[in-house]
Amino acid sequence: MARGQTDTKSRILRMTRTLYSTHGCEGTTLDDIITASGITKGAFYHYFKSKDSLCEAVIERVMQDYQLLAESLDGELSPLGQLREMIGKLAKLNASGEWVNCRLILRLSADSHESHPHIQQKIRKFWQWYFDFFEGLVERCRAAGEISSRLDTKTQVRLLMSVMAGAVSMERISPSKQSFADLAEIVIDTLRS
């Protein structure tokens, strides 16, 4: 694919992520995407066969971003250090305003996609990977004796993920000076006891 084509497709995906994170898939029209991307309808259909296929591509790109973030963790850190590093990176990215992935995936997950089974499948695949990733980190923390085994691993992961998702959602409703990294640290401290 030529560089101009790659740039155009990337721009469509980038602009769509921003639109979907704010308005959701259903609340964003094809005209919104075309206008924000600065392309024609013909150019849109050159890259994507439908708005649904674009949504699927957006979810795949978001998953890739999270996977790259997970792969970037410092392997020299303890499991608890890696858990803190991942949460810190997510908090920093969210605070930057340029990373809309957390808000986007929460928005798409909350939207009803019953009539779009492929989108539902992509969202479930993302959440399964995300949960498995954090479950692996928490299990390594437990094995290293860095957090308590008073609660089962799945409950610990759900608590941590719930705090992070809640903090991202609440930031839109009532902005706070406290980042979700701070809130997640409180949960981590609780899990350590």
Per-residue pLDDT tens digits for 20-55: 998 988 889 999 999 999 999 999 999 999 999 999
Residue 65 lies in a domain: yes
Question: Cα–Cα distance between 19 and 173 in angstroms, integer?
Answer: 18
Residue 35 lies in a domain: no
Of 87, 80, 101, 105, nearest to 14 by C-alpha is: 101
Of 136, 11, 135, nearest to 61 by C-alpha is: 11
Say whether 31 sits in a helix, a strand or coil: helix
User: Has residue 113 got a pLDDT over 70?
Assistant: no
Tokens 């640290």 sit on residue: 185
* CATH number reported for the structural domain that contains residue 101 in this entry: 1.10.357.10
> Per mean pLDDT, which of 139-143, 169-173, 187-191 is the most reliable?
139-143
| Domain interval for residue 185 | 51-192
> CA dihedral defined by 120, 118, 91, 141, rounded to 10 degrees?
80
Residue 100 lies in a domain: yes
Provide the mean pLDDT of the chain: 89
pLDDT of residue 3: 52
Residue 27 lies in a domain: no
- Which two three-digit tokens encode residue 186? 């409180």
* AA letter at 5: Q
- Range 89-103 average pLDDT: 88
Number of domains in the chain: 1
User: Has residue 2 got a pLDDT over 60?
Assistant: no
Instruction: For 131-162, write each residue's pLDDT tens digit.
Output: 999 999 999 999 999 999 999 999 999 998 99
pLDDT of residue 46: 95
Question: Cα–Cα distance between 20 and 83 in angstroms, integer?
Answer: 28
Question: Cα–Cα distance between 23 and 111 in angstroms, integer?
Answer: 10
* AA letter at 190: T
Residue 9 lies in a domain: no
pLDDT of residue 25: 87
Residue 178 lies in a domain: yes
* AA letter at 106: L
Residue 173 lies in a domain: yes
Helix then strand count (H, E) for the chain reads 9, 0
What's the predicted TM-score (pTM) here? Answer: 0.88
Question: Cα–Cα distance between 31 and 40 in angstroms, integer?
Answer: 9
Residue 158 lies in a domain: yes
